[in-house]
Amino acid sequence: MKLRSLLSGLDYEEVKGDAEVEVGGLSYDSRKSGPESLFFSLTRDAERSRANIKDALNRGVRAVVMRGGGDGEAARAAATIVRSERPRLLMGAAASRFFNAPSERIDLVGVTGTSGKTTTTYLLQSIFEAAGLPTGIIGTVGIFIRGRKVYSGLTTPESVDFESSLAEMEREGVKAAAAEVSSVGIAEGRVEYLNFRGCLFTNLGRDHLDLHGTIENYFAAKLRLFTEILPHSRRTDTVAVSRGDDPYGRRVLDAVKGRKVSFGFDSSLDAHPIEYQADLSGIHGTISVLGKKLRIETSMVGEPNLLNILGASALSVALGIDGGAVEEGARRCPGAPGRMEAIAAKPGVNVLVDYAHKPDALDAVLRTVRKLTPGRIICVFGCGGDRDRGKRPVMGEIAARLSDIPIVTSDNPRTEKPLAIISEIEEGLKKAGRVRGKKASSIGAGDYLVEPDRRAAIFAALQVAVAGDTVLVAGKGHENYQLLGSDVIHFDDREVVRELAAELNRG
Q: What is the pLDDT along the chain (507 residues), one digit of tens a residue?
A: 999 999 999 999 999 999 999 999 999 999 999 999 999 999 998 899 999 999 999 999 999 999 986 666 766 677 899 999 999 999 999 999 999 999 999 999 999 998 899 999 999 999 999 999 999 999 999 999 998 999 888 899 999 999 999 999 999 999 999 999 999 999 999 999 999 999 999 999 755 566 767 889 999 999 999 999 999 999 999 999 999 999 999 999 999 999 999 999 999 999 999 999 998 889 999 999 999 999 999 999 999 999 999 999 999 999 999 999 999 999 999 999 999 999 989 899 999 999 999 998 999 999 999 999 999 999 999 999 999 899 999 999 999 999 999 999 999 999 999 999 999 999 999 999 999 998 888 888 899 999 999 999 999 999 999 999 999 999 999 999 999 998 999 999 999 999 999 998 886
Which CATH class, in words, describes the domain spanning 3-86? alpha beta
- What pLDDT shows up at residue 208? 54
| Cα angle, residue 158 at apex, residues 156 and 161 outer, rounded to 5° | 100
Question: In the structure, how many helices (H) and strands (E) does the chain have?
Answer: 17, 25
pLDDT of residue 75: 64
Q: How much is the pLDDT for 414?
A: 96
3-state SS of 171-220 is HCCCCEEEEECCHHHHHCCCCCCCCEEEEEECCCCCCCHHHHCCHHHHHH
C-alpha count within 13 angstroms, C-beta hemisphere, residue 108: 29
Q: Are strands 470-474 and 350-354 parallel, antiparallel or unpaired?
A: parallel
- d(C-alpha 16, C-alpha 74), whole Å: 10
Whole-number Å distance between alpha carbons of 499 and 278: 29
How many Å apart are CA 384 and CA 370, to the nearest integer?
Answer: 25
Is the Cα dihedral 415, 417, 423, 425 positive or negative?
Answer: positive
Beta-carbon-side half-sphere exposure of residue 137 (alpha carbons within 13 Å): 26
- Dihedral (Cα; 89, 92, 98, 100), 10-degree rounding: -130
The answer to whether domain 99-332 has CATH 3.40.1190.10 is yes
Q: Is 455 exposed, middle or buried (0-12, 13-18, 19+ CB in 10 A)?
A: middle
pLDDT score, position 210: 61
Q: What does the pLDDT read at residue 506?
A: 81
Please return the burial class of 77, using the count of CB atoms within 10 Å of its CB with bins 0-12, 13-18 and 19+.
middle
CATH for 341-506 is 3.90.190.20
Residue by residue, DSSP assigns 379-416 as EEE---TTS-TTHHHHHHHHHHHH-SEEEE--S--BTS
Instruction: Check residue 164 and report its DSSP letter.
Output: H
Torsion of CA 164, 65, 13, 211, to 10 degrees: 70
End-to-end CA separation in angstroms for the chain: 66
* Residues 222 and 240 sit within 8 Å (Cβ to Cβ): no
| pLDDT at 70 (0 to 100) | 60
Residue 133 DSSP class: -
Q: What is the length of the chain? A: 507
Q: Which residues contact 327 (CB under 8 A, 6 or more apart)?
A: 294, 295, 296, 297
- What is the domain partition of the chain in residue ranges? 3-86, 99-332, 341-506
DSSP string, 86-131: -HHHHHHHHHHHHTT-GGGTSEEEEEESSSSHHHHHHHHHHHHHHT
